[in-house]
Amino acid sequence: MDASELDFEQVTEADCSLLLHFIEEAGYEESNHNIVNMFQWRHQYPLWKCATANYLLLLGIHEGKLFIYMPLCREEFFDEAITQAKQIFAKAHVPFMLSCFTEHQMEKVLKLFPACSSVCERDAFDYIYEAEKLRTFSGKKLQKRRNHINAFMIEYKDRYRYEEISSANLAEVKDFLYHWKETDTVDDYFRYEKQGAMDILDLFGKLPYQGGLIRIDDEVRAFVIGSLTSPRMVQINIEKADETIRGLYQVVEKEFLNHHYLETTLVNREDDMGLENLRAAKMALAPSGFIEKYRLRECNENNES
């Protein structure tokens, strides 16, 4: 089944304004509904769209199965959008599946369609932090992180500087990313991750994000890109650093949050994808909470969960 057969069209860079309009209408803080995230992972997770005056439906594919993201719309149009999505799937005789739904939106779907079942996906939970904690790394829980920062400062205090990513240094950031972990054993995830980060750098000035870099001895050794998910929350979309330099990851994120999006009070550091090392790193930063996510599908005699 091709997405075009379901009345959906491929999402392209020309759709940025349309996506941003409906993302703002929806007001979600969930990371997969962030425009930078969408374009960062579009090679691994292609997107298709179906737009009306009231809502925008996004169609994704995972392991060969089509699914619907949360509809991008104002709350008053949510039921209309989900109902239309279900009708599109039914007309095409495709199992009705939904993914990346928050608890509130999941409950709305189950109220509309009691025949649907839901599964909580812990590996997809977004990690949420108090922005001030990551700007200062204060508190007993972050003592080990402060130790890393202190070690960095002892070695590099007079040798590093922070810069905002701009057209003037963009080529250097791309060069750093190109050579980042180039000697490591690569897998499909690594290739998609690196390609996605390069795509976002290529879209500099076209997507609403801000970025910063760390130079050590005048060479770019780390960078971070972030964007707003809501007026109160910034999402860390990309962060890359030379892992041989102790404390560099902590320093570049700290500098970024102290130079950009100063009005935000929360930081979304996305999910851990079920990777043990990533989960340990995110938990070590003492999250203040999570955004829980759910996968749903319609269950009946011919389509059991």
| Structural domains of the chain, with CATH | 3-122+292-298 (3.40.630.30), 126-270 (3.40.630.30)
Token readout for 9 is: 């069209």
Instruction: Give the C-alpha separation, 244 to 222, whole Å.
Output: 11
Q: What's the pLDDT score for residue 64?
A: 86
Convert 3-67 into a string of H (helix), E (strand) and C (coil). Answer: HHHHCCEECCHHHHHHHHHHHHHHCCCCHHHCHHHHHHCCCCCCCEEEECCCEEEEEEEECCEEE
Instruction: Give the C-alpha separation, 218 to 216, whole Å.
Output: 5
Residues 6+ apart with CB under 8 A from 176: 213, 220, 221, 223, 240
User: In the chain, which stretches have pLDDT less than 70?
Assistant: 1-5, 300-305
What are the tens digits of pLDDT across the range 98-113? 999 999 999 999 999 9
Q: What's the pLDDT score for residue 305?
A: 40
Q: What's the pLDDT score for residue 6?
A: 80
Q: What's the pLDDT score for residue 269?
A: 98
Instruction: Give the C-alpha separation, 300 to 13, whole Å.
Output: 38
